[in-house]
């Protein structure tokens, strides 16, 4: 079987959940901000993620469907921005008072850094992200 698998990195956009096990910090912060609450940051907020706008993910899926399967056969292709953004930066962009929870109760299982290598996405799908985090949050807010 010929397969292309796409691995998404911290996808955010409209209608994302703001609570539950799959809620991203972006949705939580926006919800807290709208309610006039402090933005809750676990630990020092220096942990980073590769936040990817949902429209870029949708485009990657479309290109994967159209691509010549022989080029991407049995590859796992990362879909992200190849840029790290800290939780602190997200809080700053969204705005509002921040409350740091120290020590971080998630520290044992939380990755400090996460960033996609999108070399294969560029080569196989001829894809690259179009929306940076500043622009994406502006659209979302």
pLDDT per position as a tens digit, 38-68: 999 988 999 999 999 999 999 999 999 888 7
* Nearest Cα to Cα of residue 51 among 129, 122, 120: 129
- What average pLDDT does this structure show over 19-48? 92
DSSP 3-state assignment of 102?
Answer: coil
pLDDT of residue 20: 83
pLDDT at 78 over 60: yes
Mean of pLDDT values over 18-29: 88
**Chain mean position to CA 44:** 19
In this predicted structure, what is the pLDDT of residue 69? Answer: 66
CATH classification for the domain delimited by 4-140, as one of 3.40.50.720, 3.30.479.30, 3.40.1710.10, 3.65.10.10: 3.40.50.720
Write down the pLDDT at residue 129.
98
What whole-number distance in Å separates Cα of residue 134 and Cα of residue 11? 14
The answer to whether 81 and 10 are in contact (CB under 8 A) is no
Q: Residue 24 has which token pair?
A: 């991203």
Question: Would you state the structure tokens that stand for residue 70, as one six-digit string?
Answer: 């022989």
pLDDT of residue 70: 67
Q: Give me the pLDDT at residue 89, please.
A: 97
Q: Model-level pTM?
A: 0.88
Q: How confident is the model at residue 22, as a pLDDT?
A: 77
């Amino acid at each position: 079987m010929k397969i292309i698998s796409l691995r998404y990195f911290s996808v955010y956009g409209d209608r994302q959940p703001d609570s539950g096990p799959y809620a991203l910090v972006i949705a939580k912060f926006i919800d807290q901000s709208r309610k006039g609450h402090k933005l809750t940051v676990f630990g020092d907020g220096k942990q980073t993620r590769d936040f990817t706008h949902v429209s870029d993910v949708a485009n990657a899926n479309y290109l994967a469907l159209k691509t010549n399967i022989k080029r991407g056969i049995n590859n796992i292709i990362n879909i992200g921005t190849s840029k790290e953004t800290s939780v602190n930066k997200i809080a700053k962009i969204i705005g509002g008072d921040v409350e740091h929870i120290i020590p971080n109760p998630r520290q044992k299982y939380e990755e400090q850094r996460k960033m996609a290598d999108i070399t294969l996405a560029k080569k196989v799908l001829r894809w690259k992200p179009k929306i940076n985090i500043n622009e994406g949050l502006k659209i979302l807010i």
